[in-house]
Structure 1
Amino acid sequence: MTTSVVSIVYVNDAPAAARFYGDLLGMSPSFETPGYITFDLGPGADLALWSGQFEDLSPDVPRTSEVCLAIDGGPDEVNVIFKQWQSKGVTILREPHDAGFGLTFLAADPDGNRMRVAPQD
């Protein structure tokens, strides 16, 4: 059996969210419909942006999950990405800090969904 993991992020506007994530990830969507857009993150992993599932998602609603971008390159690369995202005006929820597994930071997309950048295990 072949399996794939699709992480679904609920958003208000899938095309707008796809532009935001595409800019941060430096990639184009692999599949697009008006309300459901995916990014191929590599073998067996996709990020999906899905709108129309909830009315008026608010950034003020507490989030209990996050999308984690696990990167190679160690602390220097985490700091480079942090500075890039900061210069793009991405909302930073927590600046780079050591979380026991390495240097990490936490950001939010325009809908308030959490995005973490951390070192790859």
Structure 2
Amino acid sequence: MVEKIKNVVVFVRDIPKARLFYREWLGLEPGGETEYMMEFLPGQGTTLGVSLAMHEAAQKLVGRHTGVSFSVKGLEELCQSLTEKGVRFTEPLERTPWGKMAVVADPDGNEFALVEM
């Protein structure tokens, strides 16, 4: 019987650029790492895996909306910082009835929602 989601994996083509984006720019807490994969948010329940897309099937999954949302404190400040670094937003910061949201793309074009409630 399935108990919970262990991790969600996003495929990339450039691990060093991904490391900079996820660890330094988004500030995700790092976990384990190899030359082909990184794990973020250890101890949070579900982790985020960022893996090198080495196989043809994985290559097809690079550069799309992931359906993953990150809960953020200080979203306006984070968006400003990411903008200064040249990060691409596919949906700009906006206020919604339930909070604030923006959609950002990693260096390979994988999209994530940044949400502050």
Please tell me the root mean square deviation across aligned C-alpha atoms, in Å.
Answer: 2.5
Q: TM-score, normalised by structure 2?
A: 0.78
Q: What secondary structure, in the 3-state scheme, does the structure 1 residue paired with 2:41 have?
A: strand
Residue 47 in structure 1 maps to residue 42 in structure 2: no
Distance 1:28 1:82 in 2: 18
Distance 2:70 2:16 in 1: 21
Question: Superposition pairs for residues 8-87 of structure 1, below 5 Å?
Answer: 8-27=9-28, 29-51=30-52, 52-53=54-55, 54-55=58-59, 59=63, 63-72=64-73, 77-87=74-84
**Conservation of the 8 A alpha-carbon contact between 2:10 and 2:62:** no
Query: Is the alpha carbon distance of 1:43 and 1:84 closer, same or farther for their aligned partners in structure 2, counting shifts above 3 Å?
Result: same
Q: TM-score, normalised by structure 1?
A: 0.76
Q: What secondary structure, in the 3-state scheme, does the structure 1 residue paired with 2:35 have?
A: coil
Give unmatched runs, 5+ long, in structure 1: none
Give unmatched runs, 5+ long, in structure 2: none
Q: What secondary structure, in the 3-state scheme, does the structure 1 residue paired with 2:24 have?
A: helix
